[in-house]
A and B are shown apart, each in its own frame.
Chain A
Amino acid sequence: MPLVNIRNLTRIFDVSKPWLNRVIERRPKALLTAVSDVSFEIEEKTVYALVGESGSGKSTIGKMLVGLLPPSEGAVEIRDIDLARETDAAKIDSIRSDIQMIFQDPYASLNPRWRVRDIIAEPVAARGDDTKGLAEKLLEQVGLAARDAGKFPHEFSGGQRQRICIARALASEPKLIVCDEPTSALDVSVQAQVLNLMSDLKDEFGLTYLFISHDLTVVQHMADRIGVLYLGRLVEEADPDTLFDAPKHPYTQMLLAAAPKLDGFGREIAPPTGEIPDPINPPPGCAYNPRCPLAQDICRTKRPELRTVGNARVACHMVD
């Protein structure tokens, strides 16, 4: 049984102007579909990565998974419990403490007025449990010193702060950690340290990660399964080897070709054309059709379903 089961997840944001402006300017409501009918499963003790460019809805899915945002439609089920609909408080609590989150910016996600000890112990203290010695133990597990517990966040570098964020996420002994761009704000050598730490902790504590990133090389390194998002839709899902060796969706192919390669000296590629369309008025049919070299009439009218092709799942009319 998968740990996380996401079914037909949709999130719509109302980005309309205020009511009076709409009446005067005779404009309809503006609805932004950030996530549109996304379904996938995360097996226990694996790393599922979501990749996509800005505006693809990857962070919105992460927020819905931890319960920071309610879904507009569809459901997030963790161990068969749907947080948005469950009414039994005991069940909700048990699931809540199983999920933690690591954010992108370690400078913004630590309270500058709290000591590291209080920051790390808070998820446990909030439940009223004993936190004696907890922060010191966790600090050592993430590669910092126990005496750092008395310091404030400003005394640490970016990479050390991200370690503190990881220690905090581990405090409540979670099963699932949602990592939203955990290394994007870090330098390459520090990123390597943090990624190695995350891999070690995963093995040690049997963790499951939802790893959200725009960096294809990081995703390839970390993930057991990768979902590619475009304009809020899951366009392709596969294991890293399949995805990087033989991408099937034209968008995935474009993304992989456009990513800078370390050995791509003087590489001349035809740069991709166009940009991500406006999510308030997405193109009809397949969202990628205005940029797609393979687009046919059917792509402009009918939205492709995600279907299984070999080891992958692809949402494209033209792939067989």
Chain B
Amino acid sequence: MTTPTLSIRDLTVDIPTRHGVLRPVNGVSYDIAPGEILGVVGESGAGKSMAGNAVIGLLNPPAHIASGEIHLNGTRIDHLKGDAMRRLRGKDIGMVFQDPLTSLNPLLKIGDQLTETMLAHLDISAQDARKRAIAALEEVGIPGAAQRVDSYPHEFSGGMRQRVVIALALCAEPSLIIADEPTTALDVSVQAQIIALLKKLCRERGTAVMLITHDMGVIAEAADRVAVMYAGQLAELGPVREVLAAPVHPYTDGLMGSTPLASRGKDRLHQIPGAMPRLDALPTGCAFHPRCPRAQDDCTQDPGPRIADGAGRAACFHPITREAVA
């Protein structure tokens, strides 16, 4: 078996506060293979972005990795600090954020931003860097790249800006891209363009992508596998086709039921009662049990089985069984 590009084992992130320790990411484990797109879904506060930030070393203190390991291409990176992490960031891991306007420097031409990244990480001359910057812009589909390389970010539309951000993430040829809600700020037609671009780059370059989003539709179309997170824990992990079409964790099932779907017509939407618990008031046992239709006594006491420990696809005592479903 080939080494996964990214391997997260039992990752736990803690935020010490005056009122005790909050745990936004709690024992999460997953791998991403080269050329694979892993979708990470969950509602706000589920810890999906926090896990991504932990990988790239961008946790804001006092948040820190309390335990667990992160391996990139077989090398452990979670304990790296300062310069070592900085060399990794941008070079081996590229990042695409939600808002393309705030992730570009408004005072620098985009060409300068691209060459700056390449000169910092790659051993090439300024002329070569400029050539590669133009090539990178062409690759992400910016028309007239040779002229546009000297434009400022405000001269681009939202979709074009996100393309520039993707070019920026790609220019040092990283093996992993973390895309945190890359299409949330974009219109539907532009979103389709950006998803198609991400898939193409992933396929052609063998780049692994961690696609963090709350949009199940985006996950269905873009991801190969999906990790569903709830209250800092992994609820379900598996191939996207299986998880979305026949979820076994009651939370995934509820989430799919809440999404308005063409086939369901105008019936009432399925509701998950209540809301996600706050991190300082997590219930004992399984974090989902107060909202879970399948909860039994053991769910209220024991945190439940974990996927990494061989519990299969879902971290649940009473997963939905689907023998009947073909």
Contact = CB atoms under 8 A, between A and B. Distances in A.
Interface of A: 53-54, 157-159, 187-193, 195-196, 199, 214, 216-218, 220-221, 244, 254-255, 257-269, 271-272, 275-276
Contacts of A266: 221
Which bucket holds chain B's interface residue count?
Answer: 35 or more
B217 A264 contact: yes
B217 A275 contact: no
Interface string B155-166: 001111000000
A221 B189 contact: no
A265 B259 contact: no
Contact of A258 (B189, B244, B256, B260): B189
A263 B269 contact: no
Interface in B180-194: 187-193
A91 to B, nearest CB: 35
Contacts of A217: 217, 259-262
Contacts of B266: 221
Given A260-B220, A262-B217, A269 B269 contact: no
B240 interface: yes
B271 interface: yes
A267 B271 contact: no
B260 A220 contact: yes
A196 B268 contact: yes
Contact of B192 (A216, A262, A271): A271
B294 interface: no
Max chain B CB contacts within 10 Å: which of A159, A191, A263, A264? A263
Contacts of B191: 258, 260
B43 interface: yes
A254 to B, nearest CB: 6
Max chain B CB contacts within 10 Å: which of A187, A188, A193, A195? A188
Contacts of B158: 54
26 contacts: A187-B276, A188-B216, A188-B258, A188-B259, A189-B255, A189-B271, A191-B258, A192-B259, A192-B272, A217-B259, A217-B260, A221-B260, A258-B188, A258-B191, A259-B217, A260-B192, A261-B221, A263-B244, A264-B220, A264-B221, A265-B244, A265-B245, A266-B221, A269-B192, A269-B196, A271-B193
Contacts of A262: 216-217, 220, 244, 256, 259, 261
Nearest to A221: B260
Nearest to A183: B260
A191 B197 CA distance: 29
A121 to B, nearest CB: 26
B194 to A, nearest CB: 8
A267 B271 CA distance: 28
Contact of B260 (A158, A193, A195, A275): A195
Contacts of A272: 189, 192-193
Max chain A CB contacts within 10 Å: which of B199, B262, B266? B262
A36 to B, nearest CB: 19
A259 B183 CA distance: 12
Contacts of B160: 275
Contacts of B215: 260
Given A191-B258, A264-B220, A199 B268 contact: yes
Interface string B264-281: 101011111001100000
Contacts of A195: 260, 269
A53 B271 contact: no
Given A217-B259, A258-B192, A268-B196, 15 more contacts: A188-B259, A192-B258, A192-B259, A192-B272, A196-B271, A218-B260, A220-B260, A255-B189, A260-B195, A260-B217, A262-B216, A263-B244, A265-B241, A271-B196, A271-B197
B218 interface: yes
Nearest to B261: A262
